[in-house]
Amino acid sequence: MSTEPPAASDPSWWRRNRWPVLALAVLLPGTMILTTSSEWFDYQNSLYSHAVTVPDGESAVYGGVEFRVDNTVLVRGGTEGGDELELDPGMDLIVAILEVTPGDEPIDSCNLTISATSPEHPERRTWNANVDLPRKFPPTGDSQTTCSDSEGKPYRLVVAATVPGGATETASWVDIEKLGLAPDYLALELSPSGISSASTSDEMSSSATSAARPDDLRQKSNATASRLMRTGSTSRSMRKPIG
């Protein structure tokens, strides 16, 4: 009579399948990431999602063109200057004057917006520039209102927007987007110290309202722009070119 040794118990399901299950746990997410990451990055790179912020008074090269904020004016609605421009009470008009120096590959078009934050709205909000302006916003004279090739010559670029009153209290920027340079866009900081609500707006509005003839209006508008240029910041530095 012989006795057989007891049969070893079968290994558990987990012990038998753990390696395939672990492999699936790694391979399934890995496959998802590999197959979708290209589209995801293409999509992200098509958005203007990366702000290259430029401190007020400094310059930056974007798409081969040098931009610098020379001065900023804020006109408040409900004030004398605002009334002369027929700016609605409760609204602010922000006007930035940029110095633009074209490079070898001049930008002949761009998207201009003004963005800002305030204590009530700490998230960044954006308004299209140079549309929906007050009815008596003065002509910009020789200054441009959009990016221009200008035959390679430096020019002034006026960027203006009507925004809710107080919308720019914390910070504000001129944003410049150029096709083909996404995801980078230029965010030129408008310093609060460069914003005034009294004399400069008076000059601006009076230049528009007191002129009797279109030529006078243009000359006075240019004179106002010149004064704004003279009172602007003079600090200047070059940043790493973008685009």
Count of positions on this chain that bind another protein (CB under 8 A) = 17
User: Closest CB to another protein among 17 and 31?
Assistant: 17
Cis before 5? omega within 30: no
User: Closest CB to another protein among 170 and 219?
Assistant: 170
Paired tokens of 242: 């973008």
Beta-carbon count within 10 A of 142 CB:
11
Q: Does residue 125 touch another protein according to CB under 8 A?
A: yes
Would you call 82 exposed, middle or buried from its count of C-beta atoms within 10 A (0-12, 13-18, 19+)? buried
| Piece in contact with another protein (CB under 8 A), picked from 97-105, 118-126, 137-145, 232-240 | 118-126
Interaction residues for another protein, span 66-95 (CB under 8 A): 88, 90-91
Name, in order, each residue with C-beta under 8 angstroms of 212's C-beta and a sequence gap of 6 or more. Answer: none
Do residues 232 and 224 lie in contact, with contact meaning Cβ atoms separated by under 8 Å? Answer: no
- Least CB distance from residue 15 to another protein, whole Å? 14
User: Closest CB to another protein among 160 and 225?
Assistant: 160
Provide the mask over 134-173, with x wherever binding to another protein is found by CB under 8 A and - wherever it is not: -----------------------------xxx-x------
Name, in order, each residue with C-beta under 8 angstroms of 216's C-beta and a sequence gap of 6 or more. Answer: none
Calpha distance 181→243 (Å, rounded):
6
User: Closest CB to another protein among 78 and 139?
Assistant: 78
Residue whose structure tokens are 């400069």: 200
User: Closest CB to another protein among 113 and 222?
Assistant: 113
Paired tokens of 19: 């390696």
The single residue among 65, 70, 110, 127 that binds another protein, judged by CB under 8 A, is 127
The H or E element spanning position 82 is helix 80-84
- Least CB distance from residue 20 to another protein, whole Å? 14
User: Closest CB to another protein among 46 and 128?
Assistant: 128
Q: Is the dihedral of CA 15, 16, 20, 25 positive or negative?
A: negative
Calpha distance 176→51 (Å, rounded):
10
User: Closest CB to another protein among 42 and 123?
Assistant: 123
The single residue among 4, 123, 151, 215 that binds another protein, judged by CB under 8 A, is 123
Instruction: Give the interface with another protein as residue ranges (CB under 8 A).
Output: 13, 88, 90-91, 113, 121, 123-128, 132, 163-165, 167
